[in-house]
Every structure is written in C-alpha cells, then in structure tokens.
Amino acid sequence: MERNQTAFVILGILAIHPNQSGYEIRKTVQQTVGFFWGESFGQIYPTLKRLLADGLIIPSASGSKTRMTRQEYSISPSGLLRLQEWLAVPYREDPPRDEFLLKLFFGAEVAPNVSATHIRRFQEQNRKVLSTLLELQALGRARSAHYPGFPFWILTLNYGVAHLRASLEWSENALAVLAALETPHSKNPHSEEDIPGKP
Amino acid sequence: MERNQTAFVILGILAIHPNQSGYEIRKTVQQTVGFFWGESFGQIYPTLKRLLADGLIIPSASGSKTRMTRQEYSISPSGLLRLQEWLAVPYREDPPRDEFLLKLFFGAEVAPNVSATHIRRFQEQNRKVLSTLLELQALGRARSAHYPGFPFWILTLNYGVAHLRASLEWSENALAVLAALETPHSKNPHSEEDIPGKP
DNA sequence: ACACACATGTAATTGGTTACATGATTTC
DNA sequence: GAAATCATGTAACCAATTACATGTGTGT
C-alpha cells in the first residue's frame, strides 16, 4: 500500500549515511540523486515523523557538527528491512510527462523559431547538467570508491550521462531540421542544405 | 496562471484533428504522444467542460462515424490563440522522479540479483517501446507526411528512439557490471574466495 | 548590523490517478 | 446473449509543491 516514495528515499539515504537531520537529508538527496529525484521539505519533515512513529528510523543525538537545534536520525533494523523489501518490489513506472516534447510536438501551430528557442534552452540545460554529472563522476571516483554503493552510483551516473549525450546529439539535428523548415529550399538561391534525416 | 497541462494537450490535439470526443481524444493522445505523455478520463472530461465554458473549444455535432451518444469538440479561434500563447512560454521542467534509477542507486542494500532483475525488466520494456516507436515512424512516413505537423512529430519520435537506444546500450553494460559484482574478479572456476578489495 | 545558510514545521492548494457507476453499440 | 469497445461522468483519495511562519548560528 505504500505509495509514498519519499519514505524510501529517506530510508535509503540514511542507510548509506546515518545521523542526518531533515535539512541534511534533503541536501544529500540533491547532491546525489538530484538529477533524477527531488524532495521538498514539505514532504520530508512529515514523512520523518511518520517513519519515527513507525520505528523505521531512530533519533540520534547530534554528536558534534554544530550545537544548533536539530534532530538527527538513523535507520533502524526494521527500517532497513522495510527498505530492502521495497527494493525487491518491481519499480513502478509512472506515466511520463514531458512538457518540452509536448510543446515541440505541437510546434506546427507556431513559428518554427518558437520551437527552436525551446530546443536551445533544452540544449543549454542539458549541457549544464552534463558538466555537473561529469564533475560528480570525477569526485566520486576520488572520494567514494570504497563505499559498497559505489558501483551502483556510477551506474546511475552513467545512465544520466548517456541520456544527456543522446539529448545533445538529438538537439543538434533537431535545430538543423527547424532551420531547414524556416528556409524552404525553393525560395533561397544560396541554400542547398539537404535535410539530415539519416536512414 | 494556467498550470493544468491537460487543457493544452486537448487544445493541441483538437488543433491537429478536430471533431473528436473525449474518448477519442484520449485514444489519440495515447497513439501519438503516448510515449511521453499520459491522460486519464478523470482529467479529460472535467477539463473539456471547463474549456467549453471558457469558449476555447466548441461542440460539433457528431457528423458521421456512429450515432452513439457522444459529444464531439473542435478548437475555437480563441482556443487556438490560447494554445499558441502557451506554446510560446518556456516549458517548465518538473522535478524528475525515476523510481527505477532510485532503486538502482540503493542497490548495495540488497543482493546484486535484485538490481539485475530490475534492469532486465527495464530492458524488455525499452525494447517493446522502441519497436512500437519504429513502427510508428514507418507508419507516419507513409500516412502523415503531408501534415504540417509531420516534421515535429518525427522530431519527438527521434528523441524517443535516441533515448531508448541509449537506455538499451547502457543496460547491457550495467548488467555486465552487476555480473562482475556477483563474481568477484575470478574468471577461473577453481578460484578461492579472495579479498574483496579492502586496502 | 546584515545577510546567508541552517533548521523545522504547517496549511492551502492542486494536479492527477483510481475506482466507481452507468449505459449504448458492435461483433462474435 | 456474452463480450468487447465505445462513451461519459463523479467521488475519493493522495502525493507533492508552494507559501507561510519562525527561529538560530556564522561570517563579513
């Protein structure tokens, strides 16, 4: 019945790195799985309470870092079991919704330049994320290679990198197609561009 | 202020192909943008009513197909304007949430085989979708090449195909990595259980 | 003194799925 | 006459975001 995925993100993060506060958990999420998963405080804090009530996490006194008002948590044995249970269940694929592709799909209703603008933004965004992932990869190899989770982290990073590269390659071609749409072959004496469409 | 994306999907679909009922719209959505966008009846029918009340779509008598109880709609001039307006606005990127990657990321908490099972399922699923997209591509070239939207439809299909191929390539490698994890550095059947790399 | 990051929480809203309820038409 | 598909809607529920509210510690 458990649909609240936030609970499992928290459990998983605490399994890797215990003694974290809600604030820290969120930061960790952003820094590790951020490129394919997001969590908001409005979700984290209530879930933390529920996990505590269910005995899946346990409070741990803030040992050292700061003496600020904060509550740290660690995963409990039953929490780990719960996490492992969930990990064994087939992932559910939620209906994808990609607004970028949707706007592109309806591109014929507006000037080609509108779609080109979306694609250029998409390109920039992907380049940015790609560079941070590559940094993460380098950093990870230097810092986390001894963790048991390391091979899995690299796998997800590779996935991200592969998809970002596919996106970037695709967008080069897409921009070329749109440019050809804007300059129809007959009107312009200087243009001999043939449309990319590779077989 | 308009956050309800369903409205724009409907508008866009009706712009391409008028005189469709709610039922048909959903089918069209599935058959065209289905691989990156989903809509449920619970969302479509109320939205249809709202669009009608706002004058963005107009009822059209069911002309021919069947004489069943149904209401067909077409996009109105103001609806088309509204759609074009929306298309010009930068797409918003919703926080991605990929449960498959999340489970893989936490893979060290369970036996490698658990993750391998997820990946194999992922692989199968991707292969299926890839083959339907390739079919769609062929069908599209035969049937819809004369539509003004055609180049844009092809673009989104190409995007899908590129990503699915990236996923499939990645998963081959991922399975190899996991297999290597299960059999620690031993190509030799007579290998002794040796050091799991602790410096 | 001020800004910024740390830190925790609640309330309102919403976008969306799922299940429920109902019935007509076609096809085997 | 049973099953599948066509067809329309509502109600319950829920996960999640956003905005709001409040306060502490650190560095400049």
Q: B88: which residues sit within 8 A by CB, 6+ positions away?
A: A110, A114
CB contact under 8 A, B166 and A163: yes
pLDDT band at B4 (very low <50, low <70, confident <90, very high): confident
Decide if pLDDT at B187 tops 60.
no
Radius of gyration for the alpha carbons in chain A, expressed in angstroms and rounded: 23
pLDDT for res A85: 95
Query: What's the pLDDT tens digit per position in A147-164?
Result: 999 999 999 999 999 999
CB contact under 8 A, B36 and A98: yes
pLDDT band at A191 (very low <50, low <70, confident <90, very high): very low
Decide if pLDDT at B133 tops 60.
yes
Query: Long-range pairs for B176-183 at CB < 8 Å and ≥24 separation?
Result: B177/A151, B177/A154, B177/A155, B178/A151, B178/B112, B178/B113, B178/B115, B178/B116, B178/B119, B179/B116, B181/A151, B181/B112, B182/B112, B182/B113
* Spatial distance between the Cα atoms of B153 and A120, rounded to a whole number of angstroms: 18
Give the mean pLDDT of A94-115.
Answer: 95
Give the mean pLDDT of B13-17.
Answer: 96
pLDDT band at B66 (very low <50, low <70, confident <90, very high): low
pLDDT for res B186: 52
* Spatial distance between the Cα atoms of A69 and B184, rounded to a whole number of angstroms: 45
- Whose CA is closest to A73, among A24, A120, A117, A109? A24
Q: What is the CATH number of domain A5-88?
A: 1.10.10.10
Lowest-pLDDT range of A181-185, B12-16, B132-136:
A181-185
Decide if pLDDT at A182 tops 50.
yes
Q: What is the DSSP string of chain B?
A: ----HHHHHHHHHHHHS-SEEHHHHHHHHHHHTTTT----HHHHHHHHHHHHHTTSEEEE---SS--SS--EEEE-HHHHHHHHHHHHSPPP-PPP--HHHHHHHTGGGS-HHHHHHHHHHHHHHHHHHHHHHHHHHHHHHHHTTTSTTHHHHHHHHHHHHHHHHHHHHHHHHHHHHHHHHHSTT---TT---------
Among A36, A115, A169, whose Cβ lies nearest the Cβ of B101? A36
Interface of A with B in 30-89 (CB under 8 A): 32-33, 35-38, 80, 83-84, 86-88
pLDDT for res A195: 45
pLDDT for res A193: 42
Tell me which nucleotides of strand C come within 7 A of a protein CB. 6-12, 14-19, 23-26
Q: B38: which residues sit within 8 A by CB, 6+ positions away?
A: A95, A96, A97, B29, B30
Q: Hey, where are the domains in chain A?
A: 5-88, 99-194
- Mean of all residue pLDDT scores within chain A: 89
Share of residues in chain B with pLDDT > 70 (%): 87
Q: Are B124 and A96 in contact (CB under 8 A)?
A: no
Q: Looking at beta carbons, which residues of chain B come within 8 Å of A170? A: 158-159, 162
Query: What's the pLDDT tens digit per position in A68-81?
Result: 679 999 999 999 99
Chain centroid to CA B77: 29
pLDDT for res A69: 78
Choice between B66 and A137, residue whose per-residue pLDDT is larger:
A137
CB contact under 8 A, B102 and A174: no
* Spatial distance between the Cα atoms of B9 and B11, rounded to a whole number of angstroms: 5
pLDDT for res B105: 98
Query: What's the pLDDT tens digit per position in A18-43?
Result: 999 999 999 999 999 999 999 999 99
Q: Looking at beta carbons, which residues of chain B come within 8 Å of A177? A: 151, 154-155
Query: What's the pLDDT tens digit per position in B136-167?
Result: 999 999 989 999 999 999 999 999 999 999 99
pLDDT for res B69: 77
pLDDT for res B35: 95
